[in-house]
Structure 1
Amino acid sequence: MEVIAIQKSILEGLTNELKTLLELTENTTKKYTPIFKEEKWLDNQEVCLMLGITKRSLQTYKDKGLLPYSKLKRKNYFKLSDVQALLRAGQPYNTNDNGSID
């Protein structure tokens, strides 16, 4: 085992920096936690499986405004309640193999 000795002031400085980083992380997490606790969010693959559609058809639904979504770091997320509402209403359009609406 290797033992490394550092000055107490350096250790305290590192400890303070880690505490500051932890506080920043907790504050950022608190900001977004209520959003995710209120609603279950699904990614593209989960929505495609639930609706029984292809990724291209899902893109058509998004383009036509049939299914609202949110984007976080280049990834799309859909509220479970929105997907369920679309299922209850019956999928408003059928899409053919190339994703265009029939």
Structure 2
Amino acid sequence: MEVIAIQKSVLNGMKNELEALLELTENATRKYNPIFKGEQWLDNQEVCLMMNITKRTLQTYKDKGLLPYSRLNRKNYYKRSDVQALLDAVHPNNTNNNGFTDE
């Protein structure tokens, strides 16, 4: 085991810098919280697994406007509530809240 001794003033300086960094991070993320409003977002793979469909079928749903999506850094994201609504529309009597069928 290695022990490193530093001056208390240096340790306090590091602590202050870390607290300032934490505050900057919290301030940067706080402005995005209203956008998400507690909504869970899913990527292509998660949607395909949840709906038990292929990527091509997912693309068809997007092309026909059946499943709204948002694009961020060349990646598509879908609101879980939108995916669940489409699942309910496709299989109204056959899905539960987690997206898996009761077959």
The TM-score normalised by the length of structure 1 is 0.63
Identity level (%) = 74
1:83 aligns with 2:102: no
Aligned to 2:65: 65
RMSD of aligned residue pairs (Cα, Å) = 2.7
Aligned to 1:96: none
The TM-score normalised by the length of structure 2 is 0.63
Alignment partners' CA distance in 1, 2:13 and 2:41? 40
Alignment partners' CA distance in 2, 1:88 and 1:30? 33
Alignment partners' CA distance in 2, 1:56 and 1:36? 30
Alignment partners' CA distance in 2, 1:58 and 1:85? 14
Which runs of 5 or more residues in structure 1 are unaligned? 92-102
Tell me the CA shift for residue 55 of structure 1: 0.6
**What is the number of residues matched between the two proteins?**
90
Aligned to 1:98: none
